[in-house]
Amino acid sequence: MKRLGEVVRTAQGIAVVRSPDDSVPGVGTRVVDESLSDVGRVVDVFGPVEQPYVAVSPGESVRVATLVGSKVYARDGS
């Protein structure tokens, strides 16, 4: 499991995560929170190469607004 970054905002039902470095997972990678609860999946990577943003589509039971300020992680083997 690798730290994906912190959710900095939401936009149109998508969580926007700021990556701490330039290593980001591929589209479709599962995303979890600190308690390993499923958050959603990566749907896009955009912005500057050094610290890109990652768009995460939340799972059905996830309220995206509650994710702002949370640290999220890319789940290995997804």
Sequence spans of domains, the chain = 2-64
**Mean per-residue pLDDT for 66-70?**
95
First-residue to last-residue Cα distance in the chain: 10
Amino acid 7: pLDDT = 97
Instruction: Quickly state the pLDDT bin for 24 (edges 50, 70, 90).
Output: confident
Q: Which tokens hold the place of 11?
A: 């936009």
How does pLDDT run across 25-41, given as a tens digit for each residue?
Answer: 899 999 999 999 999 99
Examine the pLDDT at 78 and tell me if it is beyond 70: no
CB contact at 8 A, 9 and 66: no
Instruction: Quickly state the pLDDT bin for 77 (edges 50, 70, 90).
Output: low
Domain 2-64 has CATH 2.130.10.10: no
Q: Which tokens hold the place of 60?
A: 């059905």
